[in-house]
Amino acid sequence: MKRFFGNLNFTLGFILSLFIVMMALTSLVWTPYDANSMDALHRLARPSLTHPLGTDQYGRDILSRVMVGAVNSIIVGLVTVGIGISLGVFLGLISAYFGKFVDEAIMRLSDLLFGFPAVLSAILITSILGPSIINAMLAIGIFYIPVFARLTRAVAMTIWEREFIEAARACGVNEIYITWRHVLPNILSPLLVQATIQFAVAILAEAALSYLGLGTQPPFASWGRMLNEAQTFMTLAPWMAVFPGVAIALAVLGFNLLGDGLRDTFDPKMVRKR
Amino acid sequence: MNHLLEVDNLHVQFDTPQGPASAVDGASFHISHGETLGLVGESGCGKTVTSLSILGLIPSPPGYIKADRILFKGRNLLNLSSEDVRKIRGREIAMIFQEPMTSLNPVLPIGRQVAEPLIAHKGISKAKAFKEAIKWLDYVKIPEARKRLYDYPHQLSGGMRQRIMIAMAMVCHPQLLIADEPTTALDVTIQAQILSLIAGLKEELNMSVLLITHDLGVVAQMADRVLVMYAGEIVEEADVMSLYDRPFHPYTEGLLRSMPILDKQIGDKLHRLTEISGIAPCTTGLTQGCKFADRCPFAFPLCSEKRPELLEVKDGQRARCWLRDYPEKRRHHD
């Protein structure tokens, strides 16, 4: 524990991420106002004591919407990283174990996916499948598969060369068991680091898609969606754009720092000067 | 013909960018029940490859095994499916590796690793396997075995880790234990402890041991019979007494002379160690004659023309050397 919190990146990232998570958890049981209820009398209200972050063009409380948006972002992060990790690790392990043709096939497919600009392809997928949050998560998740597949393959290949694998074989343990028991646990830390960073990227990607109207659909709250709606009222009510924007920045920064910090503490050889 | 293990004419080749390299070149030997066979030779002479090929652990490609047969308890391992060979590994033939530092998985608790062969082979429950693991950790004298189960390898010393490796090898009661330089990475006091532990286990369980080492002192202490390997060939085979008494092959002689003898002084001067000149040959390509001819102090023309066979020289001692037929060529210059 001390090892982790001795790292400035990790500590900052942890606090920020914890803040976002707490916000999301709180919104599940309590928000200042109902995030979707409109109040025509208080449209575009400035931040005040009754509405700390102001209201939007329908008089919805922005603080409540930012809180609910955090839930949305965290779900997007979890689901996309989940899709990426489960399929990516599976493919990466297969690639590393079989090598040769199988490896070539999987890795060239990954290259192909990498070759597309991710956001553009996500737009393509969501426009084919129809704009919805589920499809947006699917699109982002698919682009995470090669990220995790490559990482897993690279690390797993070095693990297979280690002596304890030979020792396990000499004990008569079968290859599937070796993969599960000996290879996988040894690649968990780089995977965890990557997952944290991809989590941040997913929040940003979902915001981008929602901003373009391809992610979360109205009336549900999403930080990207809120930015989209805010742009028409930019001069009239800048708080409509500022607060969701700050939320996105804090969340992305937090999870990125968390990932960086984890990498630093997992890899003592990578000493950074600061 | 009831040897535990019989290896006939074993060849192992590896593909290299320079062409196929033969790591083992026609090795034949056997191990009887309850016997300790020492396999000696310098680095790269094929000792480890020999043991790995018995276990079917030579990766192919780039490695290829060819042998007339490898009989273990009457079954030819070469004819078994890889799944059947896997079932023999760890259960009937177990192996201890040279480097206890790297042969244990750094992220798994040791209890789990010791219990692993049991779970893999006997399909017994984890709790039962752990109980058995504790028994073996006690046996190999790990203090407070029950607590140690959840320790990770980095928390243990080299000697302790080697004990863990031994416990891991022993849990399924193998009939043959292959110990590949089990003490090379350890300091001398720990070495003695580990060797006596192996010797004790062997006595108690009537197990056979194939002891691979380059340390002739270890062989003298442990083995009943010794094979000397050079460049993939067995050049001499003898029981341990005869080998130290009257080594026949010039290579064996050289090995013995390059060992320090602590209490021997010649005149007032300290006895200087003699080395074998030259380096072990490259094993790609074919050599016609004896592989040791280039480095042999007694080499004569026939040696580089025709390859000698492994033939009996005296009372079961066998050597692969032309000096057997031309004893007059053996002249000591000193």
Give bridge partners of residue B317 from the DSSP assignment.
B314
Min Cα separation B129/chain A (Å): 14
Q: What is the pLDDT of residue B12?
A: 86
Highest mean pLDDT among A18-27, A43-52, B24-33, B259-268: A18-27
Residue B190 and residue B158 in contact, taking contact as beta carbons nearer than 8 Å:
yes
Tokens standing for residue B274: 């003699």
Residue B100 and residue B185 in contact, taking contact as beta carbons nearer than 8 Å:
yes
In chain B the first and final C-alpha atoms are separated, in Å, by 44
Q: Which among A120, A121, A135, A127 is positioned nearest to A83, based on CA atoms? A: A135
Task: Return the residue matching tokens 């600009």.
Answer: A117
Min Cα separation B12/chain A (Å): 18
Q: Do B89 and A166 touch (CB under 8 A)?
A: no
Min Cα separation B104/chain A (Å): 5
Q: Do A167 and B86 touch (CB under 8 A)?
A: no
Q: Do A163 and B99 touch (CB under 8 A)?
A: yes
- Provide the residue count of chain B: 334
Q: What is the pLDDT of residue A273?
A: 43
Q: What is the pLDDT of residue A99?
A: 86
Q: B262 pLDDT band (50/70/90 cuts)?
A: low
How many structural domains is chain B composed of? 1
Who's near A25: CB < 8 A, 6+ residues apart?
A: none
Please state the rounded mean pLDDT for residues B56-79.
Answer: 83
User: How many angstroms separate the CA atoms of B218 and B241, rounded?
Assistant: 14
The string of DSSP letters for B10-37 reads EEEEEEETTEEEEEEEEEEEEE-TT-EE
Using one digit for the tens of pLDDT, what is the confidence trace for A242-261?
999 999 999 999 999 999 88
Q: Do A163 and B91 touch (CB under 8 A)?
A: no
- For residue B59, list chain A residues with Cβ-Cβ distance below 8 A: none
Residue of chain B with shortest Cα separation from A175: B86
Q: Do B104 and A171 touch (CB under 8 A)?
A: no
∠ CA(B179), CA(B182), CA(B188), 5° rounding? 145
Chain B residues at the A interface, defined by Cβ less than 8 Å, are 55, 57, 86-91, 94-95, 97, 99, 102-108, 116-117, 120-121, 165, 168-169
Any idea what DSSP says for residue B107? T
Min Cα separation A232/chain B (Å): 55
Min Cα separation A266/chain B (Å): 13
Q: Do B102 and A164 touch (CB under 8 A)?
A: yes
Query: What CATH class has A10-40+50-273?
Result: mainly alpha
Any idea what DSSP says for residue A214? S
| B297 compared with A238, residue with greater pLDDT | A238
Residue B334 has pLDDT above 70, yes or no: no
- For residue A168, list chain B residues with Cβ-Cβ distance below 8 A: 105, 116
Min Cα separation A173/chain B (Å): 6
Q: What is the pLDDT of residue B222?
A: 86
- For residue A170, list chain B residues with Cβ-Cβ distance below 8 A: 55, 57, 89-90, 94-95, 97
ipTM of the complex: 0.80
B119 within a domain of the structure (yes/no): no
Q: What is the pLDDT of residue B270?
A: 59
Q: Pick the range with the lowest mean pLDDT from A258-262, B34-38, B322-326.
A: B322-326
Number of H helices, E strands in chain B: 10, 15
Please report the number of interchain residue pairs, chain A to chain B, with beta-carbon separation below 8 angstroms.
66
CATH assignment at residue B66:
3.40.50.300
Using CA atoms, how far residue A7 sits from A159, A195, B7, in Å, is 27, 19, 58
Q: What is the pLDDT of residue A5?
A: 80
Q: Do B94 and A169 touch (CB under 8 A)?
A: no
Tokens standing for residue A185: 């646990």
User: How many angstroms separate the CA atoms of A65 and A132, rounded?
Assistant: 18
∠ CA(B101), CA(B107), CA(B109), 5° rounding? 85
Residue B5 and residue B31 in contact, taking contact as beta carbons nearer than 8 Å:
yes
Residue of chain B with shortest Cα separation from A171: B90
Q: Do A164 and B105 touch (CB under 8 A)?
A: yes
- For residue B86, list chain A residues with Cβ-Cβ distance below 8 A: 172, 174
CA neighbours closer than 13 Å in the CB half-sphere of residue A236: 11
- For residue B91, list chain A residues with Cβ-Cβ distance below 8 A: 172
Residue of chain A with shortest Cα separation from B104: A164
- For residue B110, list chain A residues with Cβ-Cβ distance below 8 A: none
Q: What is the pLDDT of residue B79?
A: 83
Three-class SS of B155-191: HCCHHHHHHHHHHHHHCCCCCEEEEECCCCCCCHHHH
- For residue B99, list chain A residues with Cβ-Cβ distance below 8 A: 163
Q: What is the pLDDT of residue B261?
A: 65
Residue B211 and residue B128 in contact, taking contact as beta carbons nearer than 8 Å:
no
Q: B171 pLDDT band (50/70/90 cuts)?
A: confident
Give bridge partners of residue B70 from the DSSP assignment.
B7
- Provide the residue count of chain A: 274
In a mutational test of the B interface, the residue from A171, A174, A176 whose CB has the highest number of chain B CBs within 10 Å is A171
- For residue B90, list chain A residues with Cβ-Cβ distance below 8 A: 170-173
Using one digit for the tens of pLDDT, what is the confidence trace for A163-187?
899 888 888 888 898 999 899 999 9
Q: Which among B60, B64, B57 is positioned nearest to B11, based on CA atoms? A: B64
User: Quick one: CA dihedral B43, B48, B50, B53, positive or negative?
Assistant: negative
Please state the rounded mean pLDDT for residues B318-322.
Answer: 85
Three-class SS of B43-103: CCCCHHHHHHHHCCCCCCCCEEEECCEEEECCEEHHHCCHHHHHHHECCCEEEECCCCCCC
* Mean pLDDT over the full length of chain A: 88
Using one digit for the tens of pLDDT, what is the confidence trace for B274-286?
777 777 766 666 6
Using CA atoms, how far residue B248 sits from A235, B174, B245, B256, in Å, is 100, 34, 10, 11
Give bridge partners of residue B226 from the DSSP assignment.
B38, B238
Residue of chain A with shortest Cα separation from B180: A167
Using DSSP's 3-state secondary structure scheme, residue A221 falls into coil
Q: Which domain holds residue B307?
A: 5-92+174-333
Q: Do A172 and B87 touch (CB under 8 A)?
A: yes
- For residue B97, list chain A residues with Cβ-Cβ distance below 8 A: 163, 166-167, 170
User: How many angstroms separate the CA atoms of B208 and A66, rounded?
Assistant: 72
Min Cα separation B103/chain A (Å): 4
B128 within a domain of the structure (yes/no): no
In a mutational test of the A interface, the residue from B105, B118, B210 whose CB has the highest number of chain A CBs within 10 Å is B105
Please state the rounded mean pLDDT for residues B207-230.
Answer: 87
Tokens standing for residue B98: 């040279």
- For residue A182, list chain B residues with Cβ-Cβ distance below 8 A: 105, 108
Q: Which among B242, B140, B138, B231 is positioned nearest to B182, based on CA atoms? A: B140
Q: B9 pLDDT band (50/70/90 cuts)?
A: confident
Q: A52 pLDDT band (50/70/90 cuts)?
A: confident
User: How many angstroms separate the CA atoms of B259 and A154, rounded?
Assistant: 45
B71 within a domain of the structure (yes/no): yes
Percentage of chain B exceeding pLDDT 70: 93
B80 within a domain of the structure (yes/no): yes
Structural domain boundaries in chain A: 10-40+50-273
Using one digit for the tens of pLDDT, what is the confidence trace for A76-132?
999 999 999 999 999 999 999 998 899 999 999 999 888 888 778 888 888 888 888
H or E element in which residue B39 lies: strand B36-40
Q: Which of A164, A166, A172 sits opposite B90 (nearest CB)?
A: A172
Using CA atoms, how far residue B167 sits from B32, B113, B139, in Å, is 23, 10, 8
Q: Do B86 and A174 touch (CB under 8 A)?
A: yes
Residue of chain B with shortest Cα separation from A163: B103
H or E element in which residue B320 lies: strand B317-320
Alpha helices in chain A (DSSP H): 2-5, 8-29, 62-98, 100-115, 118-129, 133-160, 163-170, 175-178, 184-211, 223-230, 239-266
